[in-house]
Amino acid sequence: MASETKEPGAIRIKHVSKIYDPQGVHVEAMRDCSFDIAAGEMAIIVGPSGCGKTTLLNAIAGFDDITAGEIFLDGELISSPTYQIKPNVDRMVVFQNGALFPWKTVIENIAYGPMVQGRLTKAAARDKAREMLEWVCLNGMEEKYPEELSSGVQRRVEILRALINEPRVVMLDEPFRGLDAVSKTVMHEFLMQLFCNRNRTMFFITHDLDEAIFLGHKVVIMTTRPAQVKKIVPIDLPWPREHRIMNSKRYLELKGEILEAVHEEAKKAFQAGERELA
């Protein structure tokens, strides 16, 4: 039974590898990845596209298995080659292309989780959903269908749908991809506000280095496929952050450091891509 899990969880990833082998096509997506995410930490994962970041997310969420290594959540094994935990409310995913149910209104979407878990009655779940919408100034959107909303609002609603379940970990897979620069800054502040108010462990995948440094406690840089941990950069900027911080000297230093590491990998990925096409 899904119990109320108020405390954020700590993730430990130990020597995780993943090899896809559908009908003999051998693809090594991840090789010997190890890093920790502390409880309540905002960890940002960056790396070239298609490098296997989502593979790691799928393993933690319980969507897919791994071929070597172990993953722990609060010391409890959740994934290994012989064990795969089922997806559940303590590990919530916000999907890359958005997965709000288009046939449910905004409020039905948000209230869905607590309702099907049997944690809240329909009325209570709707009340709580309304409260959350008000809290992020999205009231008035309750009875709209997702496809009537701008993609920025859709993303915010989806994040609320995840948070209403009080998960131990929230995993976001490039949630703000495709948004324009202006909406992105709004989304960053939105996430910052959520994060400060309800401290959750976050596993955040992105391509956007500014987003990574602005939001993260630490940035985990992955290599091109097979994904390995190239570098972990702690972001020692003070919390809570405002956009002004992007002009600070420390910010630019960090950006330079990360940019260099990422650029090296991007070049390798590009060359590998050229080879694959040739």
Partner 1 sequence: MSTSRKTGLLNPQIMRALIGIGVFLALWYLLTAVLQLPRFKLLPNPLSVIAEWISFEPVSGRSIFTKAFYLDMGFSIARTLIAFSLATFLGVLLGLIMGWNRIFYDFSFPIVEILRPMPPLSWIPLAVLILPGVELAVVYVTFIAAFFATVLNTLLGVFSIDKNYFLAASCLGSKPKHIFINIVVPGALPFIFTGLQIAMGVSWMSLVAGEIISGQQGLGYAIYEGYSLFQFDQVVCYMFTLGILGYISSAGIRALGRRLMAWESRRRGA
Partner 2 sequence: MKTPRGKLLKKVFSARTLRGLSSIVLFVVLWQLVVYLKVPYLQNLPYPEDVASHGLAAAVSTGYWIDWGLSLSRIFIGFIAAQLLGIPLGLAIGISRVFRGFTFPVFEILRPIPPIAWIPLAILFWPTRELSIYFLVFIGAFFIIVINVIQGVSNISVNLKWAAFSLGAKPNDIFWRILLPGSLPSIITGMTVGMGVTWNVLIAAEMIAAQGGLGRTTWEAYTNHNIPYIVVGMVSIGIAGYLCSTLLRWLGEKAMPWKRKF
User: Which residues contact partner 2 (rule: CB under 8 A)?
Assistant: 19-24, 65, 67, 81-84
Rounded-to-integer distance, Cα 65 and Cα 67, Å: 7
Contact 60, 87 (CB under 8 A): no
Which helix H or strand E contains 142, and what residues bound it?
A: none
Burial 33-63 (b: 16+ CB within 10 A, else e): bebebeeebbbbbbbbeebbbbbbbbbbbbe
Which of 61, 66, 163, 235: binder of partner 1 (CB under 8 A)?
A: 61
User: Whose Cβ is closer to partner 2: residue 88's or residue 199's?
Assistant: 88
Q: Considering the complex, what minimum distance in angstroms separates the CB of residue 65 from partner 2? A: 6
Binding letters toward partner 1, positions 62-101, x by CB under 8 A: -x----------------------xxxx-xxx-x-x-x-x
Residue 65 partner contact from partner 1, partner 2, none using kind-dependent CB cut-offs of 5 to 8 Å: partner 2
Partner interacting with residue 92 (select from partner 1, partner 2, none; CB below 5-8 Å by kind)? partner 1
Candidate segments 110-118, 129-137, 194-202, 235-243, binder of partner 1 by CB under 8 A: 110-118
Taking the mean position of all CA atoms in its chain, how far away is CA 164?
16
Q: Does 59 bind partner 1 (CB under 8 A)?
A: no
Record the tokens describing residue 152, joined without a space: 């920025």
Query: What is the maximum span of the chain, computed from C-alpha positions, in angstroms?
Result: 59
**Cα distance between residue 83 and residue 158, in whole Å:** 29
Which spans of this chain sit near partner 1 (rule: CB under 8 A)?
2, 61, 63, 86-89, 91-93, 95, 97, 99, 101-104, 112-113, 116-117, 144-150, 161-162, 165
